[in-house]
Chains A and B, each alone.
Chain A
Amino acid sequence: MEKIALSRRQILAGGAAAAVVATERPASAHSIKGEVPWAPSQADAPHAIDPGGYIFFTPQEAALIEAAVARLIPADDLGPGAKELGVPTFLDRQLAGEYGRAERWYMLGPWRQGSDNQGYQSRLTPAQLYRYAIKQLDAHVSSIKDGRRFANLATEDQDALLSDLEAGKVDLGGVSGKAFFDLLLQNTIEGFFADPIYGGNRNMEAWRMIGFPGARYDYRDFVAKHGERFPLPPVGLQGRPAWSSKG
């Protein structure tokens, strides 16, 4: 079993990288006096992901992630699953970005065992955790399944392995299998239901499935229409197909 061994140097290097990133951005907090500032064309625009292939995952990592999310939210008669809706791309962009670097989290010691309600407790950033856990998981699968990888197993076997992870029966070289499973499940759900601008929930299919109307914030026209179905389709931060229709 490989032991997790983060050296002081790695932690310092990680901290330095975070500091560099921080100085690239303007300070986000500042006080306003007098008039509320306003300027034309000013917008705190959300940043759409770059479409295309994986940035963070290696092909082998991607194969495991695609297989795993396809079991967490499989395609069925209700609609497409996490893989079809782009959740692996969502995870890839998140892990390549500030979430993956745990930029907004306190990431220094002390390293004591936290309780579940205390949130993320690993000393690894999410990107480091995924990379390490995926490698360990494939090594684990290889050792018990004749050298095969997780992605090549039958779906029943994949389900069994994921269940073992969830039940805390698998140790991933010092990282709790349950901690990784919980994070992966949470991130998969986030990608499945987040705005399509972030890579998952393609064409707002997940919203359509549950009848969520999207980024709307006013329902006064419908308040008195009891028992009627809300007539408008979901809308995302980048709009909906009808915004570009002719006619």
Chain B
Amino acid sequence: MRSATPFLIAGLLVATSAGLVFADGDHAQIERGRYLVSAGDCYACHTADPSKPFAGGRPLQTPFGAIYSANITPDRQTGIGAWSDDDFYRAMHEGVSANGERLYPAFPYPYYTHVTRGDVLAIRAYLQTLEPIANAPPRNKLPFPLSERAVMRPWNWMFFDDGAFHPDPSKSASWNRGAYLVEGLGHCGACHTPKNVLGADMDDKALAGGTIENWFAPNLGADLRTGLGGWSEADVIDYLKTGRNSHDSATGPMSEVIQYSTSQLNDEDLHAVAAYLKDLPGEAGRVPSSASGQQTSSSGLSGSGEAIFLDQCSTCHRSNGEGTPTVFPPLKGNANVQQADATTVIRVILQGARTTPTDARPTPFSMPAFDWKLSDAQIAAVATYVRTAWGNVAESVSADDVGKLRRTLHAKAE
């Protein structure tokens, strides 16, 4: 009790200063903040232990090392309870902590910089209502010199443009709302935009698909084969709201995004996001790239690939690759299957996958793992088969690709 008393007093002081009884305006602001916190999917990264929501400490695996998320509860010592509104706005807007330290862009301030001050303060108001939890995240595991936060100064100079979102007057209000959500709080590009060697977005390939934590976040451009070209706006909305549509089911990191963020968006915002995404350019509208879009004829492995598919996969995905839409994803025409980078296909065959439960579709379906059963060569063969059968077009997968990912995932699990 001796040590708890100061905490209690501190808690009371915070509560008093925030106003124990909220005026109507405060309540509306806090509720808006709650909604925006969902839109930003803050929970997913800032929660390591579900019993300590928003208390941080979740390791984010970057190519440079593990970065631990911050405690954003109002705890004054370990959280952000002692921050001023201006401190919080500066962190969101410029990536600078209250103590002046540079934050790493694993905290997606290059996106959050587009969020309006009003929205930032609403988020702040909501976070202040959370239960303060004392939890100091572990030290980041970054090699020198990246461990020095000062390295973010030149990085920011090269890659970071702070600034408010500027609406495009030639587009609809809904499109602009979608752009604001996608490019701002939604920070979709954090996964879906490829990164340069310094971990910054390649702006000429915005949302064209990126590698993250041994997954490949697919292309969101207008490409028919690899992007959202074959999806209607309603398909995009279904996917974001329920986790599934007739083309595919979400799994991997997108599960969390749907569970904590997009399934919580209102229909108006979902329409806006869909309108903006469906207006993105495809490969043809971007700078031409020599690496992608290459067709490779099916390799000699596809004989065994077809045999494995018929024996192991066709019960759910059907021998014609059409699956059972919204239950078992079709592989024919599936964009995830045909990405230039086959990481996701290989990973799902190795480890299995589970769809995300949402209010609209509460029962998740799972695909079994095959890593105990199929060799690297066999997984390469069946991955190549699904990438080239039924009119699908993508490069073949080698046993080497499978072996590398198998070893990486195995090492990660230990």
B-binding residues in A (CB < 8 A): 35-36, 38, 40-43, 45, 216-218, 221, 232, 235, 237-240, 242-247
Contacts and interface: CB of A to CB of B under 8 A. Distances in A.
Contacts of A36: 364, 366
Nearest to A221: B319
A69 to B, nearest CB: 30
B369 A245 contact: no
Query: Closest 8 interchain pairs by CB?
Result: A40-B351, A218-B315, A242-B307, A38-B354, A45-B372, A41-B351, A235-B311, A41-B369
A242 B352 contact: no
Contacts of B300: 246-247
B352 A40 contact: yes
Contacts of B373: 43, 45, 237-239
Nearest to A35: B357
Nearest to A238: B373
Given A240-B311, A243-B311, A246-B303, 13 more contacts: A40-B351, A41-B351, A42-B369, A43-B368, A45-B373, A218-B314, A221-B314, A239-B374, A243-B308, A243-B378, A243-B381, A244-B377, A246-B304
7 contacts: A36-B366, A40-B352, A40-B369, A43-B369, A235-B311, A239-B308, A239-B311
A240 B353 CA distance: 25
Contact of B307 (A42, A216, A243): A243
A60 B374 CA distance: 39
Interface residue range, chain B: 20 to 34
Nearest to B252: A40
B200 interface: no
Interface string B101-114: 00000000000000
Contacts of A216: 311
Interface string B350-392: 1111100100000010101101111101100100000000000
B373 to A, nearest CB: 7
A41 B350 contact: yes
A239 B377 CA distance: 14
B96 interface: no
Interface in B312-362: 314-315, 319, 350-354, 357
B366 A38 contact: yes
B369 A242 contact: no
B301 interface: yes
Contacts of B374: 239, 243
Nearest to A232: B310
A107 to B, nearest CB: 33
Task: Choose among A217, A237, A242 the residue with the greatest number of B CB atoms under 10 Å from its CB.
Answer: A242
B304 A244 contact: yes
Given A40-B352, A41-B369, A216-B311, A245 B364 contact: no
A117 B352 CA distance: 43
B246 to A, nearest CB: 20
B304 A245 contact: yes
A158 B68 CA distance: 74
A242 to B, nearest CB: 4
A60 to B, nearest CB: 38
Interface string B275-313: 000000000000000000000000011011001101100
B8 interface: no
B413 interface: yes
Contact of A41 (B308, B375, B377, B413): B413
B219 to A, nearest CB: 24
